[in-house]
Amino acid sequence: MIDVVAIVGPTASGKTALSLELAKRLNGEIINGDSMQVYRDMTIGTAKILPEEMAGISHHLLNIKDPEDSFSVAEYQKLVRDTIADIHLRGKLPIIVGGSGLYVQAVLFDYRFSEEPVDQELREQLQKELEQLGPEHMHQKLMALDPTSDIHPKNTRRVVRAVEILMSDQPKENRNLSQSPLYNEVIIGLDIPRDVLYERINQRVDLMLEQGLIPEVMALRKRGIRDAQSVRAIGYKEIYSYLDGRLSFEDAVGKLKQNSRKFAKRQFTYFKNKLPIFWIDALANSEKSISEIIAFMQENDRTCRIDKLAENQMPTEK
């Protein structure tokens, strides 16, 4: 039986709209799969869904942390697995939606964490690499392990710790995590031509500015939030640079669009290399996409639970 559905794809590919339609059709509840949408008071820059846009669908793990707080993959993993169990108890289908590939992967597969390094020799090795080859080398090492990481290259301590976790806490037999699923999951990926995606990203940035991205960032800055994990994210760090006088407004907007496009490219790379995904055309008619997804789920659902979920679907708004 299908336990969990995940909808992944790059920023601005249409995940939110598809997730709402699928949740209506299959009596589902949506779990945030974006590492930045967990933060309160960071709505515009994270393209977070608004309550009035949720169409009566329950959404989980939005606005659960203050911008000053740190948030880890390990914490996310536990929260989501608990939420999945809770949704199952209500007889509904959990649907994880987001672009943070590592976070989704850590939930669905046997990805393990520990507070201390498994191998002290590894920590010493990484420190030696840092001393001999420098921070840029370590950041490149991190990006090879996790292309979606948003840790700043100059935050050397966090870069090294992230590399240590990724190298030590993922057992060798589980490095190809698709070999060790914890759920009977279906992962849906939205595929979209790069030129169309990049134009959507540029338009989204313009819309964010119209909606008040700069006042949103100014409010965070006024609270004294400077070095927190949250405001180092794309959409915030560029506006901080503008407000601090390090970039002109035009340069900050250009950098924001460029960084968003580069991030989308890294997201595609991660999804295609790390996750067992059923790809659909992001530009296709929504009804066609839903039909393809349900057909794929039925093929992978021995107990035909999908049919039962569909019988209890919420009525589609007319």
pLDDT score at 178: 40
pLDDT score at 36: 95
Is residue 9 annotated as involved in ligand binding? yes
Exposed / middle / buried, residue 231 (Cβ in 10 Å: 0-12, 13-18, 19+): buried
**DSSP assignment, residue 13?**
S
Residues 23 and 99 placed together within one structural domain of the fold: yes
Which of 168, 190, 211 is where one domain is finished? Answer: 168
- Nearest CA-CA partner of 234 in 271, 215, 208, 211: 208
Residues 83 and 97 placed together within one structural domain of the fold: yes
Which is higher by pLDDT, 280 or 121? 280
pLDDT tens readout for residues 225-276: 998 989 989 999 999 999 999 999 999 999 999 999 999 999 999 899 888 9
Residues 201 and 225 placed together within one structural domain of the fold: yes
pLDDT score at 176: 38
Residues 160 and 22 placed together within one structural domain of the fold: no
The residue range of the domain holding 219 is 4-113+169-311
Whether 173 maps to a domain, the answer reads yes
Contact 64, 230 (CB under 8 A): no
Is residue 12 annotated as involved in ligand binding? yes
Is residue 147 annotated as involved in ligand binding? no
pLDDT score at 162: 81
- Of all residues in the chain, the percent with pLDDT exceeding 90 is 64
Residues 178 and 51 placed together within one structural domain of the fold: yes
- Using the predicted structure, report yes or no on whether residue 171 has a pLDDT greater than 60: no
- Using the predicted structure, report yes or no on whether residue 316 has a pLDDT greater than 90: no
Structure tokens at 101: 């590939």
Q: Average model confidence (pLDDT) for the chain?
A: 87
pLDDT tens readout for residues 64-91: 999 999 888 889 999 999 999 999 999 9
The pLDDT of 144-156, averaged and rounded, is: 76
Is residue 15 annotated as involved in ligand binding? yes
Is residue 16 annotated as involved in ligand binding? yes
Number of domains making up the chain = 2
Residues 277 and 190 placed together within one structural domain of the fold: yes
Phi first, then psi, for residue 69 (nearest 5°) are -80, 150
Residues 140 and 196 placed together within one structural domain of the fold: no
Residues 26 and 136 placed together within one structural domain of the fold: no
Contact 187, 6 (CB under 8 A): yes
Whether 318 maps to a domain, the answer reads no
Is residue 10 annotated as involved in ligand binding? yes
Is residue 156 annotated as involved in ligand binding? no
Is residue 265 annotated as involved in ligand binding? no
Whether 109 maps to a domain, the answer reads yes
pLDDT score at 256: 97
**DSSP assignment, residue 179?**
G
CA distance 162 to 35: 15
Whether 80 maps to a domain, the answer reads yes
Task: Give the CA radius of gyration of the chain.
Answer: 20
Residues 158 and 199 placed together within one structural domain of the fold: no
Residues 158 and 249 placed together within one structural domain of the fold: no
User: What CATH number is attached to the domain comprising 248?
Assistant: 3.40.50.300
pLDDT tens readout for residues 187-216: 999 999 999 999 999 999 999 999 999 999
